[in-house]
Chains A and B, each alone.
With several copies, the nearest count.
Chain A
Amino acid sequence: MSLTAGPDAEAASLQPIDLSGVDAEQAASWYRSMALIREFETTAEPLVMQGRIPGGMHSAVGQEATAVGVVGALAATDIVTGTHRSHHITLAKGLAPDLIMAELFGKATGPLGGRGGHMHLADLSKGHFGSNGIVGAGLGIALGAALAASVTKTGQVAVGFIGDGAANIGRVWEFVNLASIWTLPLVIVCENNLYAVETPFAQVTGGGDIAGRASGFGLPAFKVDGRDVAAVYRIAAAAVARARGGEGPTFIEALTYRHGGHDVGDRETYRTKDEVERWRAESDPVLRLRRSIADAALLRPAALEGIDAEVAAQVAAAVEFAESSPYPDPATVLDNVTGIDMKIRGNL
């Protein structure tokens, strides 16, 4: 991570964020969480390129603030679900970087023993009900978690993350409608990063307004600057309070941008370098928070640098842990497909 690489030319254009009402502890916690995500992603990507992590990866660099802002508004017992691009949510929800890294490597020490991998991270005990390889599907699981919370009155809130591409998956609107009419404690967060793989949002999304679509389903729908962690936090906190209060779901469209390609190896011919640079320069969410913390003197430079060093060490240790962990025993692949014996013959 090059956050501490000295004065840079783009700094001038960086938009400050409003940290009023944010105390040092909160600021530090957000920054640590976002810096950890940035470090994790930038470390893992080359490992995918090198083939040390198999199966590809979708980096969340640029989208740290949505995860940290939203999950920051949740209790530990609340539930999140993600998409194919969910390392940020996973780390924000408190899954340990070394365990996630081991899972990416396909090692036995991953929370799923290597069965899940990058696109199917989960830890139900931590309220992480899965990232999901199928566009839109995670939201359906969050819907169900919210249904259970509502019926059994656990007081939990569920958050389902989707991307802008999911706005064109019909089932997503079924999920939104069901949450709406059943008044479920669900918060839908749409990370609109302007692209679905190579396809610009505006080219395929009739009306061009996802929150607008959502409001047609009878629930409050808002847009927020998804690269401003404080703004995301505030609107998420309001939505979470509403859900917890039994008033039903809220739809939040968070405008954001991914700094890297759709997945590792993407040649990014569909957008200009300029476009990417402008977004970075103006609204890199990690830099914006860091700068605004410094400007507001919430933390001292040394404290910020300390966090940078700590997350760097943490991620380095995670790689170390993952590399040195054993692979699962191949024979175990037959285990735990169902709770009862399926009496299948001829399994290799």
Chain B
Amino acid sequence: MSERATLSQAYRQGLAEEMRTDPRILVYGTDLFERGGHWGQVRGLGSEFGRDRVRNAPISEAAMVAAGVGAAMNGLRPVVDLNFIDFAFGAMDEIINQAAKIRFMWGAPMPLVIRGTNGVAGGGAQHNNSFESWFAHTPGLLVAMPSTPADTKGLIKSALRGEDPVIFLMHKLLAGLRGEIGGAEDLVPFGRGTVRRPGRDITVATYGVTVPRSIAAAGQLASEGVEAEVIDLRTIAPLDLELVEESVRRTRHLVVVTESQRHGGIGAEIAAALSESLYDVLDGPVLRVGAPSVPAPHSAPLLARATPSADDIARSLRAATAARVS
């Protein structure tokens, strides 16, 4: 690792490298060829790979995903770029009833990547859904939620070499985040989390945009003498519960953090699973931090209130450690 890149650039580089070596990969979506997508995530690929493999699509999310499903069955590895994953609501049958089930029903691999932004930024309720938990609950789907450029590149490469439908979720607020990225063979496997910050007192399990916020919260706690270990799950399907367990066996405390609505989300799975498997180990209840159950508002102060912040996470870490250690 030596090169530095933004998340968007890392994604593009991972995709471009794989496209160079695997002619079966193609990518399409609205405004991709010239503009390179809403986040510049495929900028320049049009001129490198041509109109056959980098396609502008009409605003037809269902057709894009359906075409991806059929093309994957007939030998391609399509990347459907929805720009915003919010538009996947228009392709939900294609994702859930088709892509996710075809291997189970028909025994065929389904190497299809569906990329979009997930989570909350400006723009109001309809472009800022957080529904990674839906996909994680659906049998047959893989879900990537990278928080660093290196993971973004490594995960898109794994997705493009795999056989499964992958929902590849990037965050609007992380698109410009810079960091080191790996080389052509630095793949990040699905289902393997990583420790972003070691700590002995409490474990934070999170992914995506709340990884940096959790690290910031851990920084706050450090100054109070509490060392939090921050785990970035990187993919939420599969979910690396073993890594979380290994950590909690040492820290005996767990806070699960999601940007998405706390109620009924994948954070509940993590909390429920660990509350069960580490019942005898935990020194206190598993706490969860997540958004309240409201849509994303437009107004900035409302939005801030509806989104978990580093302060919210720090508060939960304090509650988890204070209440029980004594």
Do A and B touch (CB < 8 Å)?
Answer: yes
Contact A199 B30, beta carbon cutoff 8 Å = yes
Q: Are A106 and B58 in contact, CB atoms less than 8 angstroms apart? A: no
Interface residues of B in 85-111 (CB under 8 A from A): 86-87, 89-90, 93-94, 97-98, 102-109
* B127 at the binding interface (Cβ < 8 Å): yes
| Chain A residue, CB-CB nearest to B72 | A144
Give bound CA distance, A269 to B46, whole Å: 15
Neighbour of B298 across the interface among A54, A139, A177, A269, CB < 8 A: A54
Cβ contact of A140, chosen from B69, B103, B237, B305, cutoff 8 A: B69
Contact A347–B57 (Cβ < 8 Å): no
How far is A342 from B294 in the complex, measured between Cα atoms in Å? 11
- With known contacts A117-B299, A144-B74, A345-B263, A339–B67 Cβ distance under 8 A: no
User: What's the least CB distance linking B165 to chain A, in Å?
Assistant: 8
Contacts A145-B73, A198-B34, A330-B302; is A348 near B66 (CB within 8 Å)? no
Q: Are A144 and B71 in contact (CB under 8 A)?
A: yes
Q: Does A76 contact B (CB under 8 A)?
A: no
* CA–CA, A169 and B58, complex, Å: 8
Contact code string B38-53 (vs A, CB < 8 Å = 1, else 0) = 0000000000000011
CA distance A268 to B278 in the complex (A): 56
Interface residues of A in 87-138 (CB under 8 A from B): 103, 106-107, 112-120, 122, 124, 129-130, 132-137
Q: Closest Cβ of chain B: how far from A323's Cβ, in Å?
A: 14
| B154 is an interface residue with CB less than 8 A from chain A | no
Name which of A10-18, A64-72, A148-156, A306-314 contacts chain B: A148-156
Given the contacts A106-B302, A119-B123, A344 and B292 also touching, CB distance less than 8 Å: yes
Q: Would you call A346 and B262 a contact (CB within 8 A)? A: yes
Q: With a CB–CB cut-off of 8 A, which chain A residues contact B102? A: 130
CB contact between A340 and one of B59, B124, B191, B298 (< 8 Å): that residue: B191
The docked-state distance in angstroms from the alpha carbon of A172 to that of B85 is 20
Query: Are A178 and B63 in touch, CB under 8 angstroms?
Result: yes
Closest chain A residue to B192 by CB distance? A343
Whether A55 touches B76, Cβ cut-off 8 Å, given contacts A178-B57, A203-B56, is no
Instruction: Report whether B162 and A328 are in contact in the complex, using a CB–CB cutoff of 8 Å.
Output: no
**Do B70 and A141 have beta carbons less than 8 Å apart?**
yes
Interface residues of B in 206-252 (CB under 8 A from A): 237-242
State which of B67, B98, B123, B263 has its C-beta within 8 Å of the C-beta of A344.
B263
Residues of chain B within 8 A (CB-CB) of A177 are 58, 60, 63
**Residue on B with the closest CB to A165?**
B59
Given A137-B98, A203-B56 in contact, is the A54-B127 Cβ separation under 8 Å?
no
Whether B63 contacts A166 by the Cβ 8 Å rule is: no
Which chain A residues border B68 with CB–CB below 8 Å? 144
CB-CB under 8 A from A54, the residues of chain B are 122, 298, 300
Q: Which residues of B contact A158 (CB under 8 A)?
A: 70, 74
Given known A-B contacts A156-B74, A330-B301, A174 and B62 have beta carbons under 8 A apart? yes
- With a cutoff of 8 Å between Cβ atoms, the chain B residues found around residue A116 in the complex are 105-106, 124-125, 298
Is B282 on the interface with A (CB-CB < 8 A)? no
Q: How far is the CB of A228 from chain B (nearest CB, A)?
A: 27
**B74–A133 contact, CB under 8 A?**
no
A117 to B121, CA, bound (A): 13
**Would A119 and B127 count as touching, CB distance under 8 A?**
yes
Structural contact, A106 and B308, CB atoms closer than 8 A: no
Nearest opposing residue in chain A for B84, CB measure:
A133
Interface size bucket, B side? 35 or more
Task: Decide if B18 is an interface residue (CB 8 Å cutoff).
Answer: no
One digit per residue, 1 when the CB lies within 8 angstroms of any chain B CB and 0 when it does not, for chain A 161-197 equals: 0000110111100110110011000000000000011
B123 surroundings in chain A (CB, below 8 A): 55-56, 117, 119, 133
- Given the contacts A177-B63, A334-B292, A348-B291, A117 and B298 also touching, CB distance less than 8 Å: yes
Contact of B75 among A148, A170, A196 (CB under 8 A): A148
The answer to the question of B297 belonging to the interface, with a C-beta cut-off of 8 Å to chain A, is yes
For the complex formed, measure the closest distance between the CB of A198 and the CB atoms of chain B, giving whole angstroms: 5
A267 CB to nearest chain B CB (Å): 9
Tell whether, in the assembled complex, residue B238 and residue A151 are in contact, meaning their CB atoms are under 8 Å apart. no
A50 interface residue (CB < 8 Å to B) = no
Whole-angstrom distance from the CB of B125 to the nearest CB of chain A?
Answer: 6
> B106: which of A106, A118, A124 is its contact (CB, 8 Å)?
A124
Query: In the complex, A112→B290 CA distance in Å?
Result: 25
- Partner of B98 from the list A115, A140, A169, A198 (CB cut-off 8 Å) is A140
Contact assessment for B104 and A145 in the assembled complex, using a CB-CB cutoff below 8 Å: no
Q: Are A174 and B60 closer than 8 Å at their CB atoms?
A: yes
Q: Is B81 an interface residue (CB 8 A)?
A: no
B70 touches A142 (CB 8 A): yes
B102 to chain A minimum Cβ distance, whole angstroms, is 8
Query: Which residues of A lie under 8 Å from residue B273 when comparing CB positions?
Result: 345-346
Is B163 an interface residue, CB under 8 A from the partner? yes
Q: Is B26 an interface residue (CB 8 A)?
A: yes
Greatest chain B CB density within 10 A among A103, A129, A181, A327 is at A129
Q: Type the 1/0 row for A315-348, where 1 means its CB is closer than 8 Å to any CB of B.
A: 0000000000001101111101111111111111
Q: Which residues of A contact B262 (CB under 8 A)?
A: 346-347
A290 smallest CB distance to B (angstroms): 34
Tell me the residues in window 263-301 of chain B with beta carbons closer than 8 Å to chain A beta carbons: 263, 273, 277, 288-295, 297-301
Whether the pair A346, B290 counts as a contact (CB closer than 8 A) is yes
In whole angstroms, how far apart are the Cα atoms of A136 and B73 in the complex? 18
Q: Which 8 A-B pairs have the closest CB atoms?
A: A144-B70, A140-B66, A117-B298, A114-B299, A106-B299, A347-B292, A339-B163, A133-B126
Residue contacts A-B, CB under 8 angstroms, 16 given: A79-B74, A81-B70, A103-B298, A120-B106, A134-B97, A143-B67, A144-B72, A151-B71, A170-B63, A174-B63, A182-B55, A337-B104, A338-B103, A338-B163, A343-B242, A347-B292
**A117-B299, A151-B26, A348-B289 known, 6 other contacts, Cβ within 8 Å:** A54-B122, A143-B67, A170-B63, A177-B60, A203-B56, A347-B262
Q: Taking beta carbons and an 8 Å cutoff, which residues of A are in contact with B?
A: 54-56, 79, 81, 103, 106-107, 112-120, 122, 124, 129-130, 132-137, 139-149, 151-152, 154, 156, 158, 165-166, 168-171, 174-175, 177-178, 181-182, 196-199, 203-205, 269-270, 327-328, 330-334, 336-348
